[in-house]
Structure 1
C-alpha cells in the first residue's frame, strides 16, 4: 500500500491534471458566492436544512428512487412519516434521507475518524435494506455487492482492507490537497470499491457532502452536491465513475471535472435556496 505521503503526492498530482486547476477554481468561487450570500448572515441552519432536503431527494433519484420533494421535506422536518409498509422505492429513499441527515452529524468525523463516519452513514443508509449483522461493516468473504454493475464486478472482500486504508488516507489528507480532489476521490473510491453489500452510492454521496463541508469548501452546508450530480444525469454520473475506474489520467481528470461541475451546479441551487430563505418562501 502507498504511504500517506505517497497518497498526498498522488492527490496533488490529480489536482494538476490538464483542465483540473480551472475546474477547482470554478468550484471554489461558486461556493464562495454561496458563503457570502446575504441570507446566510443569520439563517444558515434554515438554508442548510433545505440543502439536505434537496440533496436527499437527488441522492435517492440517482438510486432510481424518485419521491416528491415535499414528502422528503415533511419527513425531514418531522411533519410526515414514511408508510408503515414502505415499498422498495420508499425504502431506498428513506435510506438516502437518513444518510443525508446523518452527514450533518459526521462532518467532524469524516476527516479525523473516517471509518467511524462510514459506519454511521451506512447504518443510516441501509438499516431497511440489509440484515442487522451487515450494517456498519465492510463486506466479508462470500459477500458481494450487486450495485454499480456497470462499473464491473465489485472487488473481492479480501481486497477491501487495502482499499479502505487508501480511502482513509484520502479522507484524512487535510489542507495539503485541494478539498475538491479529496471529496471527489473519496466519493469515487466508495462507489467503485463498494465496501458494503448495499447502500454504497448513498454513502458515497453523503461522504462527499460531509467532506465538502469539513474541508472548508462549503462550510455552510448549503451547496447541494447531490443535485449537481443528478442534474448531469445518471448515465453521465456512471460514465464518469467508470472513467475514474480506468485509473488513466484522462479518466481521473474526467471524474474530478464531473465533481467540480456538480459542485458548481449545486452551488447555483444553494443560491436559489438562499434567495428563497431571504424572501421568506421557506419556513
Structure 2
C-alpha cells in the first residue's frame, strides 16, 4: 500500500498535470474502459474506444458481444467520473454504476477465463440497479464459489456499504482493493458485477485521494497479469483465509502501482502531443 501511495504521489507531480489534468484524465478513462472490457473478454482496439468516448465514432446498431461488453465498460467508467465528486451514498453509487453498465444494452457478454460478466440485456433485465433478492442466482465469476443469497447477501452488502464509507484515516488503497473484491465475490447484481467492481474501485481510488488527479489507470494493472491470474487473486480473497486475502491485496496494490505507471505514460504523451 505504501508503494501504491508513493507511485500515485509521484504521478501527481508530473509536469503535464500542472495544467492538463482534464486531458490526461480523459485518456485514463479510455484506457481504463478498454482494459476493463478486455478483462471481460472484449478485445477491441483502444483507438476504437477512444473514438467512441470523444464522439468520433458510434457503436453499431446491432453490436456484437464484444462491442456490448466494451460499451458497458465505457458507460460504467464514464459514470464513475461523475460519481467521484458527488455526494451519492455508497449503496446508490453501486446502483448507479450498474445502471450505467446495463444501459449499454447488455451488462457484459462473454467471459475470458471466468472473468466475464454474463449476457443479460438491459431491455430484458428486471433488476437493473437493484441487488439480487431472495434466492436469485448469478452465473458470473463461478470460480469464486457460490454467491450469497437472501439474508446472507443483505448482511454482506451492509458490511460493504460500511467499508465504502470508512473514515478517512483508513488507507485509500486498502478500502479500494477490498471494495473491488467484495463486489466481485458478492456479485450483488444479476449481471455486470465485474465491471461494477472495477468502476467502483476507480471511484474510490480518486474519491479517497490515492490518485486525486484521475490519471492513474488501475484497470491496466489488473489486466496486465491476465484474466486467469486476476480471477485467481479474487478466488484467494473469496476463500476468506489470511493468505487468500493477502494474495488479493498484493495483486490489487501492484495494480495501483502499474496504474500509476500507465498514468505517467499518458502524462508523457500529453506533454509530447502524441496522445493517440
Greater shift, 100-109 or 114-123, is seen at: 100-109
The Cα of 1:158 is off from its aligned counterpart by 3.8
Correspondence for 2:251: 258
Following the alignment from structure 2 to structure 1, what is the Cα–Cα distance between the partners of residues 135 and 250? Answer: 36
Q: How many residues align?
A: 259
Maintained 8 Å contact 1:144/1:157: no
Maintained 8 Å contact 2:156/2:186: yes
2:71 pairs with one of 90, 94, 107:
94
Correspondence for 1:120: 96
2:85 pairs with one of 108, 114, 117:
108
Correspondence for 1:268: 261
What CA deviation, in whole Å up to 9, does each residue of 1:24-50 have, x standing for no partner? 111001001110000000000000000
Q: Does 1:186 align with 2:179?
A: yes
Greater shift, 268-277 or 148-157, is seen at: 148-157
Following the alignment from structure 1 to structure 2, what is the Cα–Cα distance between the partners of residues 28 and 260? Answer: 9
Maintained 8 Å contact 1:59/1:205: yes
Q: Does 1:162 align with 2:135?
A: no
Maintained 8 Å contact 2:97/2:199: yes
The Cα of 1:108 is off from its aligned counterpart by 2.9
What CA deviation, in whole Å up to 9, does each residue of 1:216-242 have, x standing for no partner? 000000000001000011111111101
Maintained 8 Å contact 1:51/1:221: yes
1:218 pairs with one of 192, 211, 230:
211
Q: Does 1:50 align with 2:27?
A: yes
Maintained 8 Å contact 1:109/1:117: no
2:126 pairs with one of 125, 129, 133:
133
Greater shift, 90-99 or 134-143, is seen at: 134-143
Could you say which structure has the higher helix fraction? Answer: 1
SS of match in other structure, 1:82? coil
The Cα of 1:132 is off from its aligned counterpart by 4.6
Following the alignment from structure 1 to structure 2, what is the Cα–Cα distance between the partners of residues 197 and 226? Answer: 22
The Cα of 1:184 is off from its aligned counterpart by 0.5
Correspondence for 2:193: 200
- Alignment gaps of 5+ in structure 2: 107-120
Following the alignment from structure 2 to structure 1, what is the Cα–Cα distance between the partners of residues 125 and 228? Answer: 32
The Cα of 1:133 is off from its aligned counterpart by 2.5
Distance verdict in 2 for CA 1:205–1:151, change over 3 Å: same
CA RMSD of aligned residues (A): 1.3
Compute the TM-score of the two structures, normalised by the length of structure 1: 0.89
Q: Does 1:65 align with 2:42?
A: yes
Q: How does 1:145-156 map to 2 (within 5 A)?
A: 145-156=138-149
Following the alignment from structure 1 to structure 2, what is the Cα–Cα distance between the partners of residues 179 and 252? Answer: 17
Following the alignment from structure 2 to structure 1, what is the Cα–Cα distance between the partners of residues 53 and 69? Answer: 15
The Cα of 1:109 is off from its aligned counterpart by 4.5
Distance verdict in 2 for CA 1:157–1:72, change over 3 Å: farther
Correspondence for 1:175: 168
Correspondence for 1:242: 235
Greater shift, 229-238 or 152-161, is seen at: 152-161
Maintained 8 Å contact 1:174/1:215: no
